[in-house]
């Protein structure tokens, strides 16, 4: 197996035992990038030199540690040191362009690191580059990216999902081992499902938002994407925790997520919300999800039908609140201090208008207009406020459901990955692809998407939803399922081309 | 025609916290542009605000000092508009749930007490500052932005439309400054912009046709007490003239929702219309999702209340009671905490409150007024401390120097910062109070002016003054005039 196709857990062991160096791992990832990136376009910015320098540093430290006494200790305290990670381009990276997928920020280089970037750097992880995304995370296919769409590694005629499509595709394709995404209405879970990887949206407030380019501030969460549940747990361990720079972050001890993985599902009460198995769900997807439910049932879980009656209003309410917040969050992109500034405007107002009009894409403009309208005087009560009331009802639905069961199981998406161009001119159809994930953000809950097989050669995602701060339960259940079902028999690979050198084979 | 003037003020005061409202940047005034900035106060993508708790404390203390009710639960909202000095294109402010509501301030106008309602006090952030190559943003070749000020905490204080004249408006504003300075939450320097005022004014006109209200004019950014009074006086006059000239608008015209925004041209001494609003601006306020609500326990609020110093009203009545000061003197001396402290401490050191109040209100004020109309600022920046003043006044009280020399010494102290003892020694001002030292001189003067002595003996008592003057002249003013007078009278009787 190629180094770039191994999991972080496996690589961590190989690195700790010094069977492989961080430089070799990073080189392997860049070999895959050289072979496939031209077609997939997972990244907006690659940082080959920075990554190799960081890898050399990790190797040097490990060599020093091995000579001294703290070698083993070091490997334990920084298990992900030397592991390549792809970072969604809406996370602020000092010295590395951070475009948020927008032409407006094409040349913006931040002077500071997001809290999660500080954390992954402190963990010794190697940032490979910044991944492609829908512009300002507004989209479900990466097609609204201001630069180019990303292709799904399972079928390059199809989209990888979005908005964290570049991150999901990079992990699936071996162009990264792990990735960071952000999830406002499904932006981690939906591309994870479409690309056959695991994606976790943490409880709102578990992971710091400091340095995450804001879209819908009351929904946004940063989270991990990985090839399996164990890797997801390891990355979440690095990301989670209170941050004094984020007033909405939760003050609480971070549990040991890796330790939570053992155990079975005997007696676990699993709820199937009937609204998520409606006729709108593709029959192949439904069958795959129900087969996964069967695996849990066979493991001793108790399956129970539950109802989340306000589900049908969640999407509409989300598309009032999130645009309202984004209309405000994106107002700062006025061309004054940084970002795109239109030339030759005769006055300031014209400069604001043109700078924004010329650099934002149609989907971003649509949402800014929606939100501006919803917050306008005379409409605020009817739209923004009413949507907030719906949000409360959606939350109450989940509270009631969790009185009857411990974890909810649904499809992550109604269909498998669709074709490039299939929905880009039909915003409503595009919004519908997040119908299973959005209610979770409305209720600030944690949820994970794990692959549950292929339909027509394309991955299907199984979504598990838990009460607030029950990430351990989510990971344990997902891990049990993954181990019991081994849902994906292979990973996607580039068309065989003349391979550069077989130097990145694992020496065992 | 009979009319009533209706004025309400919106006052912004910068708080004296060491760091900004949402980040750790310094709030110091007057440094190089854009040296007190960070990703947060520049509003870079991804940054988030974290509330400075000191600012909440100061805002609540201001509310308490203005007699407000403090909200147990309040929150921050985004006020949205585009302007180059506003890095996030929204100002984090408070909309429908401010920290403080329903207060009152008592002012004295023409010796009568008037109560002015405070509608609300809320906390918000300051914007940056624009420097134009030309006159204004519009029409300048270029404009520069300094974000040092951006994010400094501000309180906005909104009064009820209770003020009835431009003079009342100025007196209220002075009172407000006194209170905010007393509690130490703002330095209220209008010239540096740490206190700013917008004034809303219109008239309620009553004539034979009934009552009519002129459209409200909001005069923006008044940056001195004088400007507040002058601009309002001008605007009232203008509205009266306009009514006299044009009368009522045609029937069916609804002007009640029209609001005119005006500027004040200090040089020309007139207001000018900036824009006419049909309705209130739509700032699309909504709760800031980045900030949790501010929840204050009553214990916390009571703790802050207990920390408040003696407020001017209380101090004024105590000064009348304790020092027997007339009402006017007590009011003047307590109008500034620094002045009140100077008075009280100097009175303690000299044991003579009456003398100290005369000197402070007379000579000290005369000197301070030379440094501008802000007595408190002038006092803080000069060397006249209670100890220094007491030292001088003890010389006068003990008749070691006379009152005129005392004034001279005070002026020198104020100018040079030297101590009274030093100045008196250098100038040799100490009075000659020894009978023996003066007796010979008195005898000489009497001998030299037999004619005058004759006049005195013939009952022209006033001529004694001439002889005293001669002795004073001979001693270069150092003789104790009282003693000289006594000695002359003695030797002629
Ligand atoms: Zn700052």
Determine the residue of chain B that is closest to A99 in CA distance: B45
Is the CB of B295 inside 8 Å of chain A's CB atoms? no
Is the CB of A90 inside 8 Å of chain B's CB atoms? yes
* Tokens found for residue B400: 């070691």
Q: Write the pLDDT tens digit of every residue in A207-216.
A: 999 999 999 9
Q: Does some domain include residue A502?
A: no
Q: Which residue has the higher pLDDT, A220 or B249?
A: A220
A330 and A198 fall within a common domain: no
What's the pLDDT at A57?
Answer: 96
A17 and A123 fall within a common domain: yes
Among A95-99, B54-58, B209-213, the least confident range: B209-213
CB pairs under 8 A between A and B: 102
User: In total, how many domains does chain A have?
Assistant: 2
A215 and A354 fall within a common domain: no
Q: Does some domain include residue A62?
A: yes
What's the pLDDT at A151?
Answer: 98
Q: Indicate the average pLDDT of chain A.
A: 94
What's the pLDDT at A270?
Answer: 98
Residue among B72, B79, B116 nearest B97 (CA): B72
Q: Does some domain include residue A343?
A: yes
Residue among A484, A488, A422, A431 nearest A461 (CA): A488
Mark the residues whose beta carbon lies below 5 A from ion ligand 1: B 23, 25, 38, 40-41
Q: Which long-range contacts (CB under 8 A, 24 or more apart) does A480-485 make?
A: A480/A263, A480/A264, A480/A265, A480/A296, A480/A299, A481/A265, A481/A292, A481/A295, A481/A296, A481/A450, A481/A452, A482/A198, A482/A228, A482/A229, A482/A450, A484/A295, A484/A298, A484/A299, A485/A292, A485/A295, A485/A452, A485/A453
- For residue A198, pLDDT over 90 is answered with yes
**Gap from CA of A348 to ligand 1 centroid (Å):** 25
Nearest by CB to residue A217, choosing from B50, B284, B289, is: B289
Q: Which residues of B touch A348 (CB under 8 A)?
A: 84, 137-138
- For residue A508, pLDDT over 50 is answered with no
Contact flag B48-A377 (C-beta cutoff 8 Å): no
Q: Write the pLDDT tens digit of every residue in A431-485.
A: 888 899 999 999 999 999 999 999 999 999 999 999 999 999 999 999 999 999 9
Confidence of residue B277 (pLDDT cuts 50, 70, 90): low
- For residue A69, pLDDT over 70 is answered with no
Q: Write the pLDDT tens digit of every residue in A349-366.
A: 999 999 999 999 999 999
Average pLDDT of the segment spanning B445-460: 84
Distance from CA of B292 to the nearest CA of A (A): 7
Q: Which residues of B touch A353 (CB under 8 A)?
A: none
A318 and A299 fall within a common domain: no
d(Cα A316, Cα B404) in Å, to the nearest integer?
A: 84
**Gap from CA of A54 to ligand 1 centroid (Å):** 30
Average pLDDT of the segment spanning A328-335: 97
Confidence of residue B118 (pLDDT cuts 50, 70, 90): very high
| A residues 318..347 contacting B (CB < 8 A) | 324-325, 327-328, 331-332, 334, 336-338, 347
The answer to whether the CB of B285 falls within 8 A of the CB of A376 is no
Q: Indicate the average pLDDT of chain B.
A: 88
**Gap from CA of A112 to ligand 1 centroid (Å):** 13
Confidence of residue A70 (pLDDT cuts 50, 70, 90): low
Contact flag A376-B48 (C-beta cutoff 8 Å): no
Q: Does some domain include residue A387?
A: no
Q: What torsion, rounded to 10 degrees, do the Cα atoms B475, B477, B478, B482 define?
A: 110
* Tokens found for residue A73: 């200790």
Nearest by CB to residue A210, choosing from B42, B48, B84, is: B48
Among A314-318, A482-486, B154-158, B244-248, the least confident range: B244-248
Q: Does some domain include residue A497?
A: no
Find the distance separating the first CA and the last CA of chain B, reported in whole Å: 72
Q: Write the pLDDT tens digit of every residue in B332-387.
A: 889 888 899 999 988 888 888 888 898 888 888 888 887 777 788 888 888 888 88
**Gap from CA of B149 to ligand 1 centroid (Å):** 10
What's the pLDDT at B256?
Answer: 60
Q: Which residues of B touch A352 (CB under 8 A)?
A: 82
Q: What is the DSSP letter of A203?
A: P
d(Cα A208, Cα A470) in Å, to the nearest integer?
A: 17
Nearest by CB to residue B89, choosing from A91, A217, A331, is: A331
Q: Which residue has the higher pLDDT, B240 or A242?
A: A242
* Tokens found for residue A98: 């951070």
**Gap from CA of B23 to ligand 1 centroid (Å):** 5
Nearest by CB to residue A332, choosing from B50, B87, B290, is: B87
Determine the residue of chain A that is closest to B42 in CA distance: A337
The H or E element containing residue A314 is helix A311-329
CA pseudo-torsion sign B63, B68, B74, B77:
negative
A432 and A448 fall within a common domain: yes
Among A148-162, B106-120, B208-222, B251-265, the least confident range: B251-265
A333 and A414 fall within a common domain: no
Q: Which residues of A touch B290 (CB under 8 A)?
A: 214, 217, 247-248
Single pTM value for the model: 0.89
Contact flag A332-B292 (C-beta cutoff 8 Å): no
- For residue B322, pLDDT over 50 is answered with yes
Q: Which residues of B touch A213 (CB under 8 A)?
A: 45-46
Among A216-220, B36-40, B204-208, the least confident range: B204-208
Is the CB of A106 inside 8 Å of chain B's CB atoms? no
Among A376-385, B207-216, B295-304, the least confident range: B207-216
**Gap from CA of A116 to ligand 1 centroid (Å):** 20
Q: Does some domain include residue A490?
A: no
CB atoms within 10 A of CB A396: 14
- For residue A342, pLDDT over 90 is answered with yes
Nearest by CB to residue B282, choosing from A108, A327, A376, is: A376
What's A69-117 look like in SS3?
Answer: CCHHHHHHHCCCCCCEEEEECCECECCECCCCCCHHHCCCCCCCCCHHH
Q: Which residue has the higher pLDDT, A378 or A388?
A: A388
Is the CB of A111 inside 8 Å of chain B's CB atoms? yes
Supply the CATH number for residue A228's domain.
Answer: 3.90.1300.10
d(Cα B391, Cα B149) in Å, to the nearest integer?
A: 42
A289 and A429 fall within a common domain: yes
β-partners of residue A182 are A222
Q: Does some domain include residue A220?
A: yes
Contact flag A338-B49 (C-beta cutoff 8 Å): no
Q: Does some domain include residue A117?
A: yes
- For residue B293, pLDDT over 60 is answered with yes
What's the pLDDT at A477?
Answer: 98
Q: Which residues of A touch B138 (CB under 8 A)?
A: 347-348
A320 and A424 fall within a common domain: no
Q: Which residue has the higher pLDDT, B68 or B356?
A: B68
Domains of chain B are 2-303 (no CATH), 310-427 (no CATH), 435-492 (1.10.10.410)
The answer to whether the CB of A406 falls within 8 A of the CB of A268 is yes
A301 and A348 fall within a common domain: no
| Strand A84-88, strand A126-131: pairing | parallel
A222 and A253 fall within a common domain: yes
Q: Which residue has the higher pLDDT, A329 or B470?
A: A329
A205 and A161 fall within a common domain: yes
d(Cα B391, Cα B401) in Å, to the nearest integer?
A: 12
The answer to whether the CB of A25 falls within 8 A of the CB of A82 is yes
d(Cα A368, Cα A387) in Å, to the nearest integer?
A: 17
A326 and A250 fall within a common domain: no
**Gap from CA of A345 to ligand 1 centroid (Å):** 30
d(Cα A438, Cα A431) in Å, to the nearest integer?
A: 10
Average pLDDT of the segment spanning A376-388: 94
What's the pLDDT at B382?
Answer: 82
What's the pLDDT at A507?
Answer: 46
Residue among B6, B490, B454 nearest B205 (CA): B6
Range of the structural domain that residue A324 is part of: 311-375
Mutate to test the interface with B, among A180, A336, A360, A391 (most CBs of B within 10 A): A336
**Gap from CA of A94 to ligand 1 centroid (Å):** 17
Percent over 70 (pLDDT), chain B: 97
């Amino acid at each position: 197996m190629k180094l770039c196709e191994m999991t972080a857990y496996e690589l961590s062991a190989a690195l700790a035992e010094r069977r492989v160096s961080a430089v070799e791992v990073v080189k392997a990832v860049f070999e895959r990038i050289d072979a496939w990136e031209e077609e997939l376009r997972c990244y907006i910015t690659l940082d080959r030199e920075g990554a190799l320098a960081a890898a050399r540093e990790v190797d040097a430290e490990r060599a020093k540690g091995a000579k001294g006494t703290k070698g083993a200790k070091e490997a334990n305290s920084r298990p992900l040191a030397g592991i390549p990670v792809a970072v969604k381009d809406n996370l602020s990276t000092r010295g590395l362009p951070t475009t948020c997928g927008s032409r407006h920020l094409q040349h913006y280089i931040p002077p500071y690191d997001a809290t999660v970037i500080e954390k992954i750097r402190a963990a010794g992880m190697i940032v490979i580059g910044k991944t492609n995304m829908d512009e300002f995370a507004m989209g479900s296919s990466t097609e609204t990216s201001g630069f180019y769409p990303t292709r799904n590694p399972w079928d390059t005629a199809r989209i990888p999902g979005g908005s964290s499509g570049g991150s999901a595709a990079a992990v699936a394709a071996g162009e990264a081992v792990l990735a960071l995404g952000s999830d406002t209405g499904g932006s981690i879970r939906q591309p994870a499902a479409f690309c056959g990887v695991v994606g976790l949206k943490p409880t709102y407030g578990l992971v710091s938002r400091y340095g995450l380019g804001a879209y819908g501030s009351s929904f946004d969460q940063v989270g991990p994407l990985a090839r399996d549940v164990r890797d997801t747990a390891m990355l979440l361990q690095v990301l989670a925790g209170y941050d004094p720079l984020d007033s909405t972050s939760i003050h609480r001890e971070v549990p040991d997520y890796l330790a939570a993985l053992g155990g079975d599902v005997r007696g676990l009460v699993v709820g199937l919300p009937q609204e998520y198995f409606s006729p709108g769900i593709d029959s192949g997807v439904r069958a795959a999800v129900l087969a996964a439910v069967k695996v849990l049932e066979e493991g001793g879980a108790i399956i129970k039908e539950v109802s989340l009656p306000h589900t049908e209003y969640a999407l509409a309410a989300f598309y009032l609140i999130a645009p309202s917040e984004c209309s405000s969050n994106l107002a700062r992109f006025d061309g004054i201090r940084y970002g795109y500034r239109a030339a030759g405007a005769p006055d300031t107002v014209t400069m604001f208008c043109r700078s924004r009009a010329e650099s934002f894409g149609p989907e971003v403009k649509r949402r800014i207009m929606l939100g501006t309208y919803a917050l306008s005087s005379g409409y605020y009560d009817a739209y923004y406020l009413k949507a907030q009331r719906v949000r409360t009802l959606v939350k109450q639905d989940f509270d009631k459901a969790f009185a009857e069961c411990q974890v909810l199981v649904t499809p992550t998406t109604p269909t498998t990955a669709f074709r490039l161009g299939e929905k880009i001119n039909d915003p409503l159809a595009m919004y519908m692809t997040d119908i299973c994930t959005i209610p979770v953000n409305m209720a600030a809950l944690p949820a994970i998407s794990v692959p549950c097989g292929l339909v027509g050669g394309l991955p299907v995602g199984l979504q598990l939803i838990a009460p607030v701060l029950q990430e351990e339960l989510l990971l344990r259940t997902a891990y049990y399922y993954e181990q019991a079902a081994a849902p994906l028999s292979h990973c996607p690979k580039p068309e065989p081309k003349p391979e550069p050198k077989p130097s990145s084979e694992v020496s065992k | 025609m009979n009319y009533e003037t209706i004025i309400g003020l919106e006052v912004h005061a910068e708080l004296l916290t060491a760091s900004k409202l949402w980040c750790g940047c310094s709030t110091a005034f007057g440094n190089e542009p854009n040296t007190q900035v960070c990703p947060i106060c520049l509003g870079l993508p991804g940054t988030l605000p974290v509330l400075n708790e000191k600012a909440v404390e100061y805002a609540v203390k201001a509310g308490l000092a203005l007699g407000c009710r403090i909200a147990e639960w309040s929150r921050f909202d985004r006020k949205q508009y585009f302007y180059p000095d506003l890095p996030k294109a929204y100002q984090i402010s408070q909309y429908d749930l401010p920290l403080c509501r329903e207060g009152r301030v008592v002012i004295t106008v023409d010796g009568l007490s008037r109560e002015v309602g405070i509608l609300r006090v809320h906390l918000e952030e300051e914007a940056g500052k624009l420097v134009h190559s030309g006159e204004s943003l519009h029409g300048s070749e270029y404009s520069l932005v300094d974000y040092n000020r951006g994010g400094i905490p501000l309180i906005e204080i909104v009064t009820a439309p209770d003020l009835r004249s431009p003079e009342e408006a100025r007196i209220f504003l002075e009172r407000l400054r006194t209170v905010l300075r007393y509690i130490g939450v703002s330095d209220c320097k209008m010239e540096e912009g740490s206190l700013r005022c917008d004034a809303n004014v219109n008239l309620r006109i009553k004539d034979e046709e009934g009552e009519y209200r002129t459209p409200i004019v909001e005069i923006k950014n008044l940056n001195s007490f004088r400007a507040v009074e002058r601009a309002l006086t001008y605007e009232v006059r203008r509205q009266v003239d306009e009514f006299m000239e044009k009368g009522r608008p045609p029937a069916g015209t609804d002007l009640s929702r029209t609001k005119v925004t005006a500027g004040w041209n200090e040089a020309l001494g007139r207001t000018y219309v900036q824009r006419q609003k049909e309705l209130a601006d739509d700032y699309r306020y909504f709760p800031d999702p980045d900030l949790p609500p501010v929840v204050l326990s009553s214990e916390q609020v009571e703790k802050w209340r207990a920390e408040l110093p003696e407020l001017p009203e209380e101090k004024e009545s105590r000064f009348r009671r304790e020092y027997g000061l007339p009402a006017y003197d007590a009011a003047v001396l307590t109008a500034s905490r620094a002045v009140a402290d100077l008075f009280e401490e100097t009175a303690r050191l000299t044991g003579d409150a009456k003398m100290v109040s005369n000197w402070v209100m007379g000579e000290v004020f005369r000197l301070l007024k030379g440094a501008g109309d802000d007595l408190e600022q002038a006092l803080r920046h000069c060397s006249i401390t209670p100890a220094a003043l007491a030292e001088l006044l003890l010389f006068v009280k003990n008749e070691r120097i006379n009152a005129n020399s005392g004034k001279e010494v005070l002026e020198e102290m104020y100018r040079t910062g030297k101590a009274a003892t030093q100045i008196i020694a250098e100038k040799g001002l100490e009075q000659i109070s020894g009978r023996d030292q003066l007796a010979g001189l008195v005898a000489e003067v009497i001998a030299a002016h037999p004619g005058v002595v004759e006049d005195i003996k013939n009952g022209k008592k006033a001529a004694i003054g001439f002889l005293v003057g001669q002795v004073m002249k001979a001693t270069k003013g150092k003789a104790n005039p009282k003693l000289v007078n006594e000695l002359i009278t003695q030797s002629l009787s």
